[in-house]
Chain A
Amino acid sequence: MAATLPLNPATFLFSLSALWGAFMGVRRRVLPLRAAYVLASAITIFTILVTWDERLV
Protein backbone atom coordinates (compact mmCIF):
# COMPACT_ATOMS: atom_id res chain seq x y z
CA MET A 1 0.00 0.00 0.00
CA ALA A 2 2.77 2.44 1.00
CA ALA A 3 4.59 1.60 -2.24
CA THR A 4 1.78 3.00 -4.39
CA LEU A 5 -0.02 5.62 -2.28
CA PRO A 6 1.42 8.96 -1.11
CA LEU A 7 1.11 8.27 2.62
CA ASN A 8 3.81 10.60 3.89
CA PRO A 9 4.16 14.41 3.68
CA ALA A 10 6.97 14.51 1.10
CA THR A 11 5.35 12.15 -1.40
CA PHE A 12 1.97 13.81 -0.88
CA LEU A 13 3.56 17.18 -1.65
CA PHE A 14 5.33 15.74 -4.67
CA SER A 15 2.30 13.95 -6.13
CA LEU A 16 -0.03 16.94 -5.78
CA SER A 17 2.36 19.39 -7.43
CA ALA A 18 3.44 16.93 -10.15
CA LEU A 19 -0.20 16.19 -10.95
CA TRP A 20 -1.03 19.89 -11.12
CA GLY A 21 2.03 20.49 -13.32
CA ALA A 22 1.07 17.66 -15.68
CA PHE A 23 -2.47 19.02 -15.94
CA MET A 24 -1.13 22.47 -16.81
CA GLY A 25 1.38 20.97 -19.24
CA VAL A 26 -1.34 19.14 -21.17
CA ARG A 27 -3.56 22.21 -21.28
CA ARG A 28 -1.03 24.95 -22.06
CA ARG A 29 1.85 23.01 -23.67
CA VAL A 30 4.18 26.07 -23.46
CA LEU A 31 4.93 28.19 -20.43
CA PRO A 32 4.74 31.98 -21.04
CA LEU A 33 8.18 33.63 -21.04
CA ARG A 34 7.52 35.68 -17.90
CA ALA A 35 6.30 32.62 -15.96
CA ALA A 36 9.32 30.64 -17.20
CA TYR A 37 11.69 33.33 -15.86
CA VAL A 38 9.93 33.43 -12.49
CA LEU A 39 9.94 29.62 -12.21
CA ALA A 40 13.60 29.34 -13.27
CA SER A 41 14.63 32.01 -10.75
CA ALA A 42 12.66 30.38 -7.93
CA ILE A 43 14.10 26.94 -8.75
CA THR A 44 17.67 28.35 -8.88
CA ILE A 45 17.29 30.17 -5.54
CA PHE A 46 15.78 27.20 -3.72
CA THR A 47 18.26 24.75 -5.24
CA ILE A 48 21.14 26.92 -3.99
CA LEU A 49 19.50 27.23 -0.56
CA VAL A 50 18.98 23.50 -0.07
CA THR A 51 22.33 22.40 -1.51
CA TRP A 52 24.13 24.95 0.67
CA ASP A 53 23.78 22.45 3.48
CA GLU A 54 25.93 19.37 2.90
CA ARG A 55 23.17 16.96 3.94
CA LEU A 56 21.67 16.76 0.47
CA VAL A 57 24.83 16.59 -1.66
Chain B
Amino acid sequence: MGGEPNRGPMMTRVCWRLVDILSRMLDADERQAVRGDLAESGECIGRALRDVLGLIGRRQIGLWTEWQAWLAVLGVACLTGLPLSRIAFRLNVDLGQQLMAYYTYGVHFGTLLTPQQDMAWLLCLAIALLLWSWTCGFVLGSLSGRAVWLTWSVFYLMVLDSALVRFILSGNMILVTRNLCDF
Protein backbone atom coordinates (compact mmCIF):
# COMPACT_ATOMS: atom_id res chain seq x y z
CA MET B 1 0.00 0.00 0.00
CA GLY B 2 1.50 3.33 -1.12
CA GLY B 3 4.64 1.58 -2.34
CA GLU B 4 6.29 1.73 -5.75
CA PRO B 5 4.20 -0.23 -8.26
CA ASN B 6 5.85 -3.38 -9.55
CA ARG B 7 6.60 -2.70 -13.23
CA GLY B 8 8.38 -6.00 -13.86
CA PRO B 9 5.56 -8.05 -15.41
CA MET B 10 4.24 -5.01 -17.29
CA MET B 11 7.67 -4.26 -18.82
CA THR B 12 8.15 -7.94 -19.66
CA ARG B 13 4.79 -8.03 -21.42
CA VAL B 14 5.68 -4.89 -23.38
CA CYS B 15 9.07 -6.36 -24.35
CA TRP B 16 7.54 -9.67 -25.46
CA ARG B 17 5.01 -7.71 -27.47
CA LEU B 18 7.96 -5.88 -29.06
CA VAL B 19 9.62 -9.21 -29.91
CA ASP B 20 6.31 -10.34 -31.43
CA ILE B 21 6.05 -7.17 -33.55
CA LEU B 22 9.69 -7.42 -34.66
CA SER B 23 9.27 -11.06 -35.66
CA ARG B 24 6.69 -9.91 -38.24
CA MET B 25 9.63 -8.72 -40.33
CA LEU B 26 10.43 -12.40 -40.93
CA ASP B 27 8.72 -14.76 -43.37
CA ALA B 28 5.59 -16.48 -42.03
CA ASP B 29 7.10 -19.97 -41.62
CA GLU B 30 10.29 -18.62 -40.09
CA ARG B 31 8.27 -16.41 -37.76
CA GLN B 32 6.37 -19.43 -36.46
CA ALA B 33 9.63 -21.32 -35.93
CA VAL B 34 11.20 -18.40 -34.05
CA ARG B 35 8.14 -17.98 -31.81
CA GLY B 36 8.12 -21.70 -31.08
CA ASP B 37 11.84 -21.72 -30.26
CA LEU B 38 11.51 -18.72 -27.95
CA ALA B 39 8.55 -20.30 -26.15
CA GLU B 40 10.38 -23.61 -25.67
CA SER B 41 13.77 -22.22 -24.71
CA GLY B 42 12.44 -19.97 -21.94
CA GLU B 43 15.10 -17.34 -22.68
CA CYS B 44 15.15 -14.05 -20.85
CA ILE B 45 13.64 -11.11 -22.70
CA GLY B 46 16.94 -9.34 -23.40
CA ARG B 47 18.47 -12.38 -25.03
CA ALA B 48 15.29 -13.13 -27.01
CA LEU B 49 15.20 -9.54 -28.28
CA ARG B 50 18.86 -9.71 -29.28
CA ASP B 51 18.38 -13.03 -31.07
CA VAL B 52 15.35 -11.84 -33.02
CA LEU B 53 17.08 -8.57 -33.98
CA GLY B 54 20.18 -10.50 -35.08
CA LEU B 55 18.09 -12.84 -37.24
CA ILE B 56 16.18 -9.93 -38.79
CA GLY B 57 19.48 -8.15 -39.52
CA ARG B 58 20.93 -11.24 -41.19
CA ARG B 59 17.78 -11.76 -43.28
CA GLN B 60 17.75 -8.08 -44.33
CA ILE B 61 21.40 -8.26 -45.37
CA GLY B 62 20.63 -11.49 -47.21
CA LEU B 63 17.99 -9.68 -49.29
CA TRP B 64 20.71 -7.40 -50.68
CA THR B 65 22.64 -10.32 -52.14
CA GLU B 66 19.88 -10.60 -54.78
CA TRP B 67 19.85 -8.31 -57.82
CA GLN B 68 16.15 -7.44 -57.44
CA ALA B 69 16.68 -5.20 -54.40
CA TRP B 70 19.49 -3.32 -56.18
CA LEU B 71 17.35 -2.88 -59.29
CA ALA B 72 14.57 -1.52 -57.08
CA VAL B 73 16.77 1.03 -55.33
CA LEU B 74 18.87 2.12 -58.33
CA GLY B 75 16.40 1.68 -61.17
CA VAL B 76 13.12 2.68 -59.56
CA ALA B 77 13.95 4.74 -56.49
CA CYS B 78 16.83 6.75 -57.97
CA LEU B 79 16.14 6.89 -61.72
CA THR B 80 12.34 7.17 -61.66
CA GLY B 81 12.39 9.33 -58.57
CA LEU B 82 14.11 12.20 -60.38
CA PRO B 83 11.48 12.95 -63.07
CA LEU B 84 8.66 12.17 -60.64
CA SER B 85 10.11 14.73 -58.24
CA ARG B 86 10.13 17.37 -60.98
CA ILE B 87 6.53 16.59 -61.87
CA ALA B 88 5.38 16.73 -58.23
CA PHE B 89 7.21 20.04 -57.81
CA ARG B 90 5.54 21.39 -60.98
CA LEU B 91 2.10 20.35 -59.74
CA ASN B 92 2.76 22.05 -56.42
CA VAL B 93 3.90 25.28 -58.03
CA ASP B 94 1.01 25.46 -60.51
CA LEU B 95 -1.60 24.56 -57.93
CA GLY B 96 -0.08 27.01 -55.45
CA GLN B 97 -0.05 29.83 -58.00
CA GLN B 98 -3.69 29.29 -58.93
CA LEU B 99 -4.88 29.00 -55.33
CA MET B 100 -2.90 32.05 -54.19
CA ALA B 101 -4.13 34.19 -57.10
CA TYR B 102 -7.71 33.09 -56.48
CA TYR B 103 -7.72 33.66 -52.71
CA THR B 104 -5.72 36.92 -52.81
CA TYR B 105 -7.18 38.66 -55.87
CA GLY B 106 -10.16 36.48 -56.79
CA VAL B 107 -8.84 35.96 -60.32
CA HIS B 108 -7.33 33.16 -62.39
CA PHE B 109 -3.53 33.22 -62.65
CA GLY B 110 -2.72 33.91 -66.31
CA THR B 111 -1.15 30.95 -68.14
CA LEU B 112 -2.55 31.64 -71.64
CA LEU B 113 -5.16 28.97 -70.93
CA THR B 114 -8.77 29.36 -69.82
CA PRO B 115 -9.53 28.52 -66.15
CA GLN B 116 -11.34 25.36 -67.29
CA GLN B 117 -8.36 24.21 -69.35
CA ASP B 118 -6.00 24.92 -66.48
CA MET B 119 -8.20 23.00 -64.06
CA ALA B 120 -8.42 20.05 -66.46
CA TRP B 121 -4.63 20.04 -66.88
CA LEU B 122 -4.01 20.12 -63.14
CA LEU B 123 -6.51 17.30 -62.62
CA CYS B 124 -4.88 15.19 -65.35
CA LEU B 125 -1.45 15.84 -63.86
CA ALA B 126 -2.65 14.85 -60.37
CA ILE B 127 -4.17 11.60 -61.69
CA ALA B 128 -1.03 10.87 -63.75
CA LEU B 129 1.14 11.45 -60.67
CA LEU B 130 -1.09 9.12 -58.68
CA LEU B 131 -0.84 6.37 -61.33
CA TRP B 132 2.92 6.73 -61.79
CA SER B 133 3.50 6.71 -58.02
CA TRP B 134 1.30 3.65 -57.49
CA THR B 135 3.09 1.77 -60.28
CA CYS B 136 6.54 2.69 -58.97
CA GLY B 137 5.48 1.65 -55.46
CA PHE B 138 4.14 -1.67 -56.78
CA VAL B 139 7.38 -2.41 -58.67
CA LEU B 140 9.40 -1.48 -55.56
CA GLY B 141 7.35 -3.80 -53.37
CA SER B 142 7.43 -6.60 -55.92
CA LEU B 143 11.19 -6.42 -56.48
CA SER B 144 12.49 -5.73 -53.00
CA GLY B 145 10.07 -7.81 -50.88
CA ARG B 146 10.90 -7.41 -47.19
CA ALA B 147 13.53 -4.78 -47.95
CA VAL B 148 10.73 -2.50 -49.19
CA TRP B 149 10.91 -0.28 -46.09
CA LEU B 150 14.40 0.84 -47.18
CA THR B 151 13.84 1.07 -50.95
CA TRP B 152 10.55 2.90 -50.41
CA SER B 153 12.22 5.39 -48.04
CA VAL B 154 14.94 6.11 -50.61
CA PHE B 155 12.27 6.58 -53.29
CA TYR B 156 10.19 8.83 -51.02
CA LEU B 157 13.12 11.08 -50.09
CA MET B 158 14.25 11.19 -53.72
CA VAL B 159 10.83 12.37 -54.94
CA LEU B 160 10.37 14.76 -52.04
CA ASP B 161 13.75 16.46 -52.19
CA SER B 162 15.65 15.89 -55.44
CA ALA B 163 13.89 18.66 -57.43
CA LEU B 164 14.44 21.09 -54.55
CA VAL B 165 18.12 20.13 -54.23
CA ARG B 166 18.61 20.50 -57.99
CA PHE B 167 17.09 24.01 -57.97
CA ILE B 168 19.23 25.03 -55.00
CA LEU B 169 22.44 23.64 -56.52
CA SER B 170 21.76 25.30 -59.87
CA GLY B 171 21.22 28.63 -58.09
CA ASN B 172 17.58 29.00 -59.22
CA MET B 173 16.43 28.91 -55.62
CA ILE B 174 18.05 30.43 -52.54
CA LEU B 175 17.27 29.29 -49.02
CA VAL B 176 17.07 32.15 -46.53
CA THR B 177 17.27 31.50 -42.82
CA ARG B 178 15.44 33.99 -40.67
CA ASN B 179 17.41 35.52 -37.86
CA LEU B 180 15.25 36.17 -34.81
CA CYS B 181 17.32 39.28 -33.94
CA ASP B 182 16.03 40.98 -37.12
CA PHE B 183 12.50 41.18 -35.73
Q: Spell out A's residues near B (CB within 8 Å).
A: 3-4, 6, 8-11, 13-15, 17-31, 39, 42-43, 46-47, 49-50, 53, 55-56
* CB-based nearest A residue for B130: A17
How long is the Cα–Cα vector from A24 to B142 in the complex, in angstroms? Answer: 8
Given contacts A10-B92, A25-B138, 9 further A-B contacts (CB under 8 A): A13-B126, A18-B137, A21-B133, A22-B137, A30-B142, A47-B128, A50-B125, A55-B111, A56-B90
What's the dominant secondary structure at chain A's contact region? helix
Cross-chain contact B164 with A3 (CB below 8 angstroms) = yes
Tell me, yes or no, whether B101 is within 8 Å of chain A by CB.
no
A54 vs chain B, min Cβ distance (A): 10
Complex interface: chain A residues within 8 A of B132 (CB)? 43
Interface centre among B87, B127, B142 (most CB of A within 10 A): B142
Nearest A residue (CB) for B89: A10
